[in-house]
Amino acid sequence: MFDGVRNQSERERLDAFRALAADLAPRDLQDLMSYPFFSLTKAKRTRPIDYHAGDITIRVEGTTEHGIASIWDADVLIWAASQIIEARDAGIATSRLLVATPYEILSFIGRGTSGRDYGRLKAAFDRLQSTTVATSIRQPSSRRLHRFSWINEWKERSAREGKPLGLEVVLPDWFYATVLDSSLILTLDRAYFTLTGGIERWLYRLARKHAGKQADGWRFDFRHLHARSGSLARYSDFAIDLRRIARTGMLLGYRTVIGRSRTGSEVLHLRAAPRERVERTVAGLAARFRIGDNL
């Protein structure tokens, strides 16, 4: 009996949670919004992300074949978190084993639903599964690291006659436990999925986490932002990107202003903007970008 249980896959030991068909608000984990867990480029990244600050340690590694999961791949995790939170709040039992169709996932994250888009989604699943993370976040000691992959298992389901039945995805304990803690979750603006730049996506999530709706917002030193992003870009190039973003004056609901600290270093000030200005910005983004080519 023991050998039989031991030889079962993790998927076979879990009760499946069928993804909800409702139009859900996007939810994200504050830890993923605040720290460098993903590559900010669509180009394959194999160089690890190493981040150390105080008691926080993060190391993210990818394989030579797939590279590290990108911030666009993380949209799948936003979908998963949103599903679990919505079901939990509705009193529906959830599980680390999610069952859904590619159409449901792609529609939620604002992608196309063609065969090409499905192929890109499968590539994202491969990167999420092959990316390994070691972190001290929410561990009893900074010297103890929790190691996991963003996806433990995933498989395509089909009927005996070969008809596709969707996907099964097994999430790691670290991610699932965080999702179930309401204090560690924030809601994103749905227009987040229209952001096409990796730095823009990362910076919006950081602003949402730290600036929130505070009247005075939050100020970040440029060099601190560079280290916090995990970006492979040179500091000078990264600073150019920050100045470019700031020139627009707005990043999806946040005013962007560059200033100077007392020591003379450049500082980016992010502050929540009035709702009417946010709506004009979102309308402008929708007109400029076609959603669907982000994987």
Q: Which domains does the chain have, with CATH numbers?
A: 2-187 (no CATH), 190-288 (1.10.10.10)
d(C-alpha 57, C-alpha 220), whole Å: 20
d(C-alpha 72, C-alpha 3), whole Å: 40
pLDDT attached to residue 291: 45
pLDDT attached to residue 264: 87
Pairing type for strands 132-135 and 146-149 reads antiparallel
Q: How many CB atoms lie within 10 A of CB 215?
A: 6
Task: Classify 186 as helix, strand or coil.
Answer: strand
pLDDT attached to residue 1: 45
pLDDT attached to residue 6: 54
> What are 165-212's pLDDT values in tens digits?
789 999 999 999 999 999 999 999 999 999 999 999 999 999 999 988
pLDDT attached to residue 284: 58
pLDDT attached to residue 128: 98
- 142 has pLDDT over 70: no
- 278 has pLDDT over 70: no
Sheet holding 250-251, edge to edge: 218-221, 266-272, 254-260, 250-251
> What are 249-264's pLDDT values in tens digits?
999 999 999 999 888 8
- 10 has pLDDT over 80: no
- 8 has pLDDT over 90: no
> What are 208-248's pLDDT values in tens digits?
999 887 778 899 999 999 999 999 999 999 999 999 999 99
Q: For residue 194, what are the contacts with CB-CB under 8 A and spacing of at least 6?
A: 110, 282, 285, 286, 289, 291
> What are 83-133's pLDDT values in tens digits?
999 999 999 999 999 999 999 999 999 999 999 999 999 999 999 999 999
More confident residue, 227 or 293: 227
Tokens, residue 21:
């068909």
Ranges of H-type helices in the chain: 2-7, 30-34, 75-89, 102-108, 115-130, 173-179, 198-210, 222-229, 235-247, 275-288
Q: How confident is the model at residue 12 (pLDDT cuts 50, 70, 90)?
A: confident
Is the distance from CB of 248 to CB of 256 less than 8 angstroms? yes
pLDDT attached to residue 223: 95
- 164 has pLDDT over 80: no
pLDDT attached to residue 274: 73
More confident residue, 295 or 29: 29
> Vertex 11, ends 118 and 62: CA angle to 5°?
60
Report the candidate in 121, 6, 143, 132 with the shortest Cα–Cα distance to residue 72: 121
Distance in Å from the first CA to the final CA of the chain? 43
> What are 24-82's pLDDT values in tens digits?
999 999 999 999 999 999 999 999 999 999 999 999 999 999 999 999 999 999 999 99
Which string of b and e fits 111-145 if b means at least 16 CB within 10 Å?
A: bbbeeebbebbeebbbbbbbbbbebbbeeeeeeee
Q: How many CB atoms lie within 10 A of CB 190?
A: 14
Tokens, residue 279:
């709506």
d(C-alpha 240, C-alpha 235), whole Å: 9
Residue at 14: amino acid letter:
L
